[in-house]
Structure 1
């Protein structure tokens, strides 16, 4: 459904305030892990939750309650247990990050919107065109050191629904860790006295060994020596940002293009391979150049025997990588790209992530992931954003607000007819986006009407 605005969309905010833990918390320094504080995670990520007015079905405790007041109080209670979030990062020797648990608090914004939920249609989905209204980068808060680690804005809608936008410092947690914190806020909002799952710090589990032993090849941190790079030379104002929906029909069409031995691949492997191949074709790179694919893989999976304890909310991910010549990736069938994505995932192991932590210590300057020729994809469709119920039901949409220049995220999405699929945002130079769409349409013949550019058509209104 297309948005139907009779007014210019606007949001009025109250002055920013700091929410501190509801009760005194320890004053101490806590060291981040060597996986946490690498350059690759030194940035902020916005996540958006959109809730209907479901007060009629809310628990008695929450009936007629103001979501802003309920959420503020729940955050304050949750920070008693997650008190490092209320602190500030400082940097030690070799850029080692530590949290000064000083209890200064997280930034909170209360806001009122002049529109109703139904006026948004699918516009809340990534790339959300109203992100600057639904969240706000308070001046001076965007840094990594000495700045609030979380910024939360709750915006009341005219219909009684609300949006919850969170900007979090990635060095403190990964998506699973943020969901764990959000579950505690959920429980406090619904009347719990303590979390059902207590947080675990224990960041030393993912620190470098003594002595460090870099045993694996880490392509993910090695820059490719290409002749040119489109993202370095493209003006940010000339980039296009769109999302694409893949439902059961699109997945089936793509999977039928694979050789039999690859048809047992996961949906992530299939869609990541498809996006990487179409993206590379769209960028029209030199066929002799090399491109890279990286995927974020969680060390929490039991297969890796990392013994990450329940309650650990730090970054427990690595992003193993594979290389391909541009010509080979573009000219081979889809199965070539899918096989490489599977190979990247196979690279993940306990030794790989421990070797990556050791690399941070050996390099000293905490290297970041490769930029030139790289494409990084993270699967957030099962992480649990869509299950956060603060007392007003599950969100209509919940997920990362959009793609970064070389990052795409898989978000879970449900269409109005009940069909569940995957929504993937991507950023490309405008001419490349047109070629990307053309190539993707060519690969998914017969399903193009429902697939493309929800940024413009807004045919996919998510509801959970």
Structure 2
């Protein structure tokens, strides 16, 4: 199939009205070395009745209006005299590309599998004379012959987490639908994030070089039906008298089955790390509209032998127990006690899990209806990661986008994941 993307215009989108000129400090969490990276996503929309403008024109105009409120996102990352990342609010803008594709969304199965060879054509190329890390938001709107479109987004993780990104995109969508002001006013307020004594995250590019692992991780996409999820939750309640979440159910499954697939020595310590929303744990409370990074890494550790031989109910209990300790662990970190949880051990024995299904992206409507699906892309094939999201509409259930095993373990991992027992 011929798949040609033509990029008809590329330009910087600046705030629609004057914005403050100042330099803003990032928070302790924002400055984590691993967050000085771009998060890449696809937002896939079918054809619908829009505003009369093309999606690209409507969204470009809306982006300009949204940047007047989220003006730090139109600025640039800079270094302070002590090397910390800051935002220089200079209204230089976000990078925007208007593009068209030579086929229908149906022809590429609505991008339901992000490994298709052409997917990178749907992501925005950076402006040639500007470093790709300098611009905080890059967006490409590609219209297909069927009337549907894909928003390819690259945004800096240093300025917001998933919840903050969804809040910003919803503001763009509200302006695209014709609202005069956002329903949620953005608030910077990074000074509210704790500053643990003794913690000073050095810039990523100033850190000592990491010993890069020798493995290369392969990607797999695995869907789990709603019936399968509901059945396990019912069984868990019958056996324990307790309830468990969809997250608990699915993460227990992928961690245990991935560990079985990679077949480690019995006494090897394996870790699960997942990222919990820490907004409710900050005191005084964060205001509505805060869009910075505010998550906490929850870690579960056990030997490989104990994990693979445990019942799935026991693994769920381990995860629930770790989640219950979150307030205590966050308070310990804020006080500067113990090892820094934001610097977890990297390696093949650690699985990182990120949940995307509850961030709010699936509810965003630019005027053409909510997305068929939102596709997050992993940005490293060296960190074992599993993203928990949703399958394309109208499917129900959950979707794993996993990049967590080497090629020699891939088929075994997929076999275990498809086994419902």
Q: TM-score, with normalisation over the residues of structure 2?
A: 0.88
Q: How much has 1:311 moved relative to structure 2?
A: 0.2
377, 390, 393: which one aligns with 2:369: 393
Aligned residue in 2 for 1:18: 12
Q: How much has 1:126 moved relative to structure 2?
A: 4.5
Q: Is the 8 A contact 1:35 1:357 kept in 2?
A: no
Aligned residue in 2 for 1:378: 354
Aligned residue in 2 for 1:202: 189
- The number of equivalent residue pairs is 403
Larger mean CA deviation between 86-95 and 157-166 belongs to 86-95
Aligned residue in 1 for 2:321: 343
Tell whether 2:177 aligns with 1:154. Answer: no
Alignment partners' CA distance in 2, 1:142 and 1:52 = 33
Q: How much has 1:141 moved relative to structure 2?
A: 6.1
Alignment partners' CA distance in 2, 1:94 and 1:359 = 21
Tell whether 2:36 aligns with 1:42. Answer: yes
- Cα distance per residue 1:112-161 (max 9 Å; x no partner): 111102212253344565430110342676754xx101110100101111
Alignment partners' CA distance in 2, 1:359 and 1:111 = 49
Aligned residue in 1 for 2:150: 163
383, 392, 398: which one aligns with 1:422: 398
Gaps (5+ residues) in structure 1?
Answer: 1-6, 215-228, 446-464
The 1:122–1:12 alpha-carbon spacing in structure 2 relative to 1, beyond 3 Å, is: closer
Q: Is the 8 A contact 2:373 2:393 kept in 1?
A: no
Tell whether 2:88 aligns with 1:113. Answer: no
Alignment partners' CA distance in 2, 1:159 and 1:79 = 30
**What SS does the aligned partner of 1:424 have?**
strand
The correspondence of residues 26-425 of structure 1 with structure 2, limited to 5 A, is: 26-55=20-49, 58=50, 62-63=51-52, 65-92=53-80, 95-127=83-115, 129-138=117-126, 144=133, 147-208=134-195, 212=197, 232-234=213-215, 236=216, 239-255=217-233, 258=236, 260-261=239-240, 264-301=243-280, 307-349=285-327, 352-353=329-330, 355-356=332-333, 368-372=343-347, 373-402=349-378, 404=380, 405-413=383-391, 416=394, 419-425=395-401
The 1:133–1:25 alpha-carbon spacing in structure 2 relative to 1, beyond 3 Å, is: same
Alignment partners' CA distance in 1, 2:82 and 2:315 = 38
Q: Is the 8 A contact 1:174 1:316 kept in 2?
A: yes
Alignment partners' CA distance in 2, 1:202 and 1:252 = 40
The 1:128–1:370 alpha-carbon spacing in structure 2 relative to 1, beyond 3 Å, is: farther
Larger mean CA deviation between 326-335 and 395-404 belongs to 395-404
Q: Is the 8 A contact 1:295 1:345 kept in 2?
A: no
Q: How much has 1:308 moved relative to structure 2?
A: 1.8
- Cα distance per residue 1:177-226 (max 9 Å; x no partner): 011111111111112222111100000000405xx288xxxxxxxxxxxx
The 1:36–1:359 alpha-carbon spacing in structure 2 relative to 1, beyond 3 Å, is: farther
Alignment partners' CA distance in 2, 1:128 and 1:16 = 24
Alignment partners' CA distance in 2, 1:109 and 1:358 = 45
Q: How much has 1:45 moved relative to structure 2?
A: 1.0
Q: Is the 8 A contact 2:233 2:245 kept in 1?
A: no
Q: How much has 1:300 moved relative to structure 2?
A: 2.7
Alignment partners' CA distance in 1, 2:402 and 2:108 = 21
**What SS does the aligned partner of 1:40 have?**
helix
The 1:339–1:149 alpha-carbon spacing in structure 2 relative to 1, beyond 3 Å, is: same
Alignment partners' CA distance in 2, 1:255 and 1:30 = 45
**What SS does the aligned partner of 1:196 have?**
coil
Alignment partners' CA distance in 1, 2:334 and 2:292 = 14
Q: How much has 1:240 moved relative to structure 2?
A: 2.0
Q: TM-score, with normalisation over the residues of structure 1?
A: 0.80
**What SS does the aligned partner of 1:74 have?**
helix
Q: Is the 8 A contact 2:71 2:91 kept in 1?
A: yes
Query: RMSD value over aligned CA atoms?
Result: 2.7
Alignment partners' CA distance in 2, 1:82 and 1:244 = 36
Q: How much has 1:306 moved relative to structure 2?
A: 5.8
Q: Is the 8 A contact 1:174 1:315 kept in 2?
A: yes
Q: Is the 8 A contact 1:48 1:400 kept in 2?
A: yes
**What SS does the aligned partner of 1:177 have?**
helix
Gaps (5+ residues) in structure 2?
Answer: 200-210
